Each structure stands twice: as structure tokens, then as C-alpha cells.
Structure 1
Amino acid sequence: MCSDINISVIEKIPYIDRIINCRVYDFLKNPLNFYRFVRELRKVKYEVVIDAGQWERINSLITIFTKRDYSIGFRTKGQWKHVVNDAVIAHSRTKHEVENFMDLLIPLGIVPVSGEYDYDELQLEFFLKQEHRQFRDKFWSEHSLENKTVICFHPGCGENGKPREWALENYIQVGKQLFKADKNIVVLITGTDFERYLCDPLYEALKGFAINTAGKFTLEQTAALVEKARLMLCSNTGILHVSTCVGTKTIGLHGPTNPVKWGAYNKRAVMIQSSKYCSPCLYLGHDYGCNLPTCMKEITPDEVYMAIRKELNPELFLKILQVQEN
């Protein structure tokens, strides 16, 4: 079961036999829609129901009405949604959300082979088809990118992620600094159609060495492009995790979000955290500590530029360290 928010990703997972799209807003518009939804749901009896929602109480209500033998869910402080479940897992503030989700399988006897979660053991996947990679290769050829150093910039964070966005002028400054240092660099701008208000002016500012793909391609096509890039620069948003799934190096910018909990789940990922005293503040994803977060402003373009240079040219920094040691 999923919602309109994540169904586009869920549909791409080959291991799933059936998808039920739960349109909560339809229930609010007409309560009879919830009755029809439950009636359809109860046509099947499930051996196990796993509620992976951290705070959504509607999940608990659906669990109550579902025909089931056994149910598992989180106990999240202050939410009280766990009381309907047979097995309860404490939702942790201090571990990555991937590992929280994996904990839901413990009552079924599914535990890490080594006793502890491992990045390699829990490698995230994004399922690309041959047609997507063929599209990517054609795109690379048409734009003469084969011998270029392609870096992705994704400045947006969706319709509800404004407090997590890094300022547009910062992306522009970093892009210009990178191209000044290396004329072989091409900035590939990614984003949804909604995020074009950021991506279009970013392209105009970097026009001589940038390509704007915002709103032009499907998620799979964008993921295929990102797969071939050297690295992805973005805030904590969906593309950060898609990039991790396809194996591309990520530099994630975190203000309200805690990279330990919400960052890219990869030991090679670079995480840059705001230095503001109250950062991070988010726990469940919507509980911002203030109305107008300013923590992203504390991350400087120079800090990000140096992080990218270290990833692109680590040998330069090793030489500097060797000189200093001698």
C-alpha cells in the first residue's frame, strides 16, 4: 500500500505483486470514499500487515479494519499509533530511517547476518531498464559529454521542501568556481517541472557550460542520466536517494534534516551539515523547529566548492598533505 506521493517509485519495484494506492485526500473530500476503500481492502485476508508509517495515524485506522493475522508497527513518541499492533518496534531518532524500517522485520525473524546493519548488505536499488540507459547514452552522445566531467546540480526540494533548499545564488557561485578551475566541467541541472522556477535561472546563469533537463524527462530517464554523472549536489530530497541507488557519488546539504537519519545511505556519501546551533531540528520530516528556518544559509559556497574539488581531484589534496607533513 502506498500513496500518490510515492506510487511512481513503488511501481518500478519488480518484487511487488499488487499495489494499493491509498488516496487520503479523497477520504477527506468524501468520507464514503474511505468506506469503499476499506470494503475493497477487506476482500483479502493478510497473514502479516506491516505499518511503516512513523506518525500517520490513518495507517493505524486502516490496520484496524484490515483482515489480518498479525500486525507490526512503530511506537513513535507522542503518536500513540502503536496500540493497534501485535508487535511494536520503537522508532529511533538516532539511527538511519532505512535501519528503522528494517527493524520492522525483526518480529518475523529477519535480522542482519552480521548482527549489525551494513551499508553493503542494505544496498538500495533503483530499477533501470535497458531502454533508459540507451536514452542516456544517446543523450550523452548528442551533447558530446563522453570526455566531460559531468556534475549534477538539483536545486529544488519539491513543493513542500522550501526550508531545505540551498539558495540559488550559492549554486550559481559554486558552478562558476568549478568551471573557472576546470573548463572540462559540465553542470547537468535536474529537477521536476515544478522546480523549473529554480532550474531555469540557474541554467541562464551557467549557460555556457550547463544543460537544463528540469521537467523534460521521466524519473527513470533522469536516474539514468544521474547514473553516468561524476557526482550529485543537492539538499535532502528524493534525488539524493535516487543518486545513491544508482551508485553516483552524492554531496548532500543538510540544515533542518539530520544526515545520520535522513542522509544518503552510503558510506561514500559526503554530508555537509549546517553549523547553526539548532540544526538539525527535524525528526518526523514535518516538525520544523521554527517557522522560517535559516540554517541552510550557514552552509557556504566555498565549503561546498572545496568538498566537490576533493571528490573530483583527491590527489591534489593528498599532495598538499604530503607537503605539509614533510
Structure 2
Amino acid sequence: MKAYKSILIVKMSSLGDVLHALPTLHALRQNCPDAHIVWAVHQNFAAVLPGKPYIDDVVYIDKSKLTSIAYLRELWHTLHAYHFDVCFDLQGLAKSAIVALLSGAKEKYGYWEMREGSFLVSKGLTGIHKNDHVIERYLDTVRVLGGTVSSVEFPLPNIDMEKQIMRKRFTEAGMIGPYIAVVPGARWKVKEWPLTYWSDFVNRVAAAGMNVILLGSGEDIVKGQAIMAGTKFPNVFDYTGKTSLHELMAAISMASVYISADTGPLHIANALKKELIALFGPTCPDRTGPYGGETDTYIHIILSSTSKATQQHPLINDPDCMAQISVLDVWDTYTAVIKKVKA
């Protein structure tokens, strides 16, 4: 691989997608230790990015302004100041193509699945992992250019301070002992496990004596309130919409087990190598699920019956797909996992 001196990575959203691109960042830093690496991202997802020595600068992209000539001119000047040797568009969409075009990079590459005309700006690179997990597809851009990928690593920001903050909050709330982290929401409604199922499951866990904390963004507040309304157990705590992204990461990192459907925080748990249970229906875990699949012993994937039968991506025409995963399915998996954790 060339000894690039100035590299731009374009991966602006969403939370899980940004996390999926972190191993490529790690590989680029390993292959180009002296490069100045800049990441272009939407500001609300920037908190999961590590600082130095992996990333030297972050450029925030306002998607709502990408049709503004004045904003594009401003962005052109910002990006050109870095004199990029190369740009890696790992988004592969029209919005990322605009950023790649404005970057002024001498070389522009993307992974093979370039959509919405982005292939007209950046050259899609096809490697040996074309049909594998999206993390490997991104890493193929490094491999095809002659770089070495010795391992799949997730460089993450330091969250030591946030761990202290969350421990104090847990203590003040009266929570003593270990807990599991549950995220009841998802970006797409079709990917969500039914709320009544979550309530039933959380009550089973709490009745068995384990603390449960509910996590999620502001969009999950209503879900958290509904679960709380359906429980009488004092060892269930609602933090939906009540944490920063770093605090959410800290809470997940300290949990005994993490459980959710296919949503951004799931990939935080995966990056942290946290014992996790992932519920999948309309999306394919082999492509976008926790990296390592079930070959890593800390990953436990539960598929809906439709997903097992078809393995299509996505199964958006089956709104009842997630309801096929029963509470008993999740409970049985959880009891086996928590037994292992306590051993």
C-alpha cells in the first residue's frame, strides 16, 4: 500500500455503520502510521469515533445543507486545506459522493457496492470478501490497494470518565450488584421486537433477581416508559433518552449481558466484545450483524422463523417477522448465557 500522507474517510451515518467502518480506520493507521487521517461524519454520530492516534481531525457534514451552494463552497475550502492524497468513501451514497468530490483527493475509492451514482466519483474496489460481512467489504478497500489486514479491531474513544458517572448514577438510583442492559428500540419499526414481549422478558429477568437497565435514544423514551408501567419490580431502571452516547457506551461496557434487536447500540456491544444476545428478523446477521457471528462465544443470535427459512435481506414485506421470536426463545438463551457469565 502506498505511504499516503493525508487520508479522508467518509462515513457519516448511521451509528452501526460508523462502527462497522472502525476496523478499516485501524487498518489504515497500521498501514500508514504517519498519515494525517480525517473523518467526515454527521455530528450526532461522531462520539463513537476515537481521537488520536487513530483520527487527527473530524469534519462535520450537515446533510441538510448539501444542496446549498454557499455550504458546498465552504466545505470545498475546508476539505482542500488538507491536500488529501486519497479518499475512502465507505458510505457509497450520493451524499458521500458529494463530499468525496469536494475533497480534492488525488485518488478516490469505495467498497464494491457503490450506490446512487457514487461510483461516478469513487472507484469501487472488489475484494475476496465481496459477499461477506460489511466490515470485511470495507476492509477489502485496504487489501485491494496492497495493505495488510492482520486483525479486525475496533478503536473506540476513552469512556473511563463516563463509567464513573454511570456508576454514581446507578448507586444514587439504588441499584446494587450486576445488571443486564436492554435496548428495546431500533431505527426501523420492522426490526423491533414487540414491546409486550420486552415487558414480559424484563419482568422474568427482574423476578429472578437480576437488575435491568433500559437504554436508548430520545426516540425510545416512550418504549422505556411503557416497560416501566408494566413492571412492579424495583430492580428495573429506565435510562432511555437519559444518557449521552459516551454514557450509553459506558453503561453497556459494564453490563453482564447486552440484549437488543438489530440497532446501533448492538454494534457498540459487539465492538466492546460484550456478552450479547441479538434478535434478528428483517435483516441478515451474516451481512450486518455482530461481527464474528456465532463463531465468537460471546455472540448469541436468535433468528425469527421467517429469517431462518429465507435469509433474505431485508424482509421488509413481513411486518410480523420479529413477533415470531418468542419470549421463551429469548429467556432460554438468556438463562444459558447468564449461567455462563456467573460461572
SS in 2 for 1:194: helix
Give the counterpart of 2:200 among 173, 178, 196. 173
Q: CA deviation at 1:142?
A: 3.2
How far apart are the structure 1 equivalents of 2:267 and 2:108?
28
Change (3 A) 1:95 1:16: same
Give the counterpart of 2:78 among 5, 20, 40. 40
Q: Which amino acid aligns with 1:85?
A: S
Does 2:319 match 1:281? no
How far apart are the structure 1 equivalents of 2:159 and 2:98?
37
Once the two structures are superposed, residues 248-299 of structure 1 have per-residue CA deviations (whole angstroms, 9 ceiling, x without a partner) of 21111111111111112241211111111445423xxxxx643x63211111
Once the two structures are superposed, residues 200-220 of structure 1 have per-residue CA deviations (whole angstroms, 9 ceiling, x without a partner) of 111221241300111112111
Quick check: 1:87–1:107 contact (8 Å CA) kept in 2? no
How far apart are the structure 1 equivalents of 2:185 and 2:316?
21
Once the two structures are superposed, residues 42-94 of structure 1 have per-residue CA deviations (whole angstroms, 9 ceiling, x without a partner) of 3332111111113x023234333432222221232765533433562369663
What is the match of residue 252 of structure 2? 226
TM-score using structure 1 length = 0.81
How far apart are the structure 2 equivalents of 1:78 and 1:60?
9
What is the match of residue 59 of structure 2? 20
Quick check: 1:232–1:248 contact (8 Å CA) kept in 2? yes
Give the counterpart of 1:133 among 142, 153, 163. 163
Q: CA deviation at 1:144?
A: 4.9
Once the two structures are superposed, residues 17-54 of structure 1 have per-residue CA deviations (whole angstroms, 9 ceiling, x without a partner) of 111112122123x3442233224323332111111113
Change (3 A) 1:303 1:202: same
Quick check: 2:142–2:149 contact (8 Å CA) kept in 1? no
Q: Which amino acid aligns with 1:124?
A: F
SS in 2 for 1:104: helix
What is the match of residue 18 of structure 2? none
Pairing of 1:194-213 with structure 2 (within 5 A): 194-208=219-233, 209-213=235-239
Percent of pairs with identical residues: 18
Change (3 A) 1:207 1:97: farther
Give the counterpart of 2:133 among 93, 96, 104. 96
Larger radius of gyration: 1
Give the counterpart of 2:285 among 230, 245, 259. 259
Q: Which amino acid aligns with 1:172?
A: S
How far apart are the structure 2 equivalents of 1:194 and 1:153?
15
> Structure 1: any 5+ residue segments left out of the alignment?
114-120, 283-287, 319-326
What is the match of residue 324 of structure 1? none
How far apart are the structure 1 equivalents of 2:171 and 2:198?
26
Give the counterpart of 2:179 among 140, 144, 150. 150
Does 2:149 match 1:106? no
TM-score using structure 2 length = 0.77
Equivalences, count: 296
How far apart are the structure 1 equivalents of 2:165 and 2:57?
29
Q: CA deviation at 1:109?
A: 2.4
Quick check: 2:126–2:140 contact (8 Å CA) kept in 1? yes
SS in 1 for 2:57: coil
How far apart are the structure 1 equivalents of 2:73 and 2:117?
23
How far apart are the structure 1 equivalents of 2:239 and 2:149?
39
SS in 2 for 1:232: strand
Q: Which amino acid aligns with 1:156?
A: G
Pairing of 1:59-78 with structure 2 (within 5 A): 59-76=96-113
SS in 1 for 2:278: strand
Higher RCO structure (Cα 8 Å, ≥6 apart): 2
Change (3 A) 1:9 1:314: closer
Quick check: 2:259–2:278 contact (8 Å CA) kept in 1? yes
Quick check: 1:124–1:244 contact (8 Å CA) kept in 2? no
> Structure 2: any 5+ residue segments left out of the alignment?
1-39
Quick check: 1:75–1:91 contact (8 Å CA) kept in 2? no
Quick check: 2:181–2:215 contact (8 Å CA) kept in 1? yes
Q: CA deviation at 1:164?
A: 0.8
RMSD: 2.7
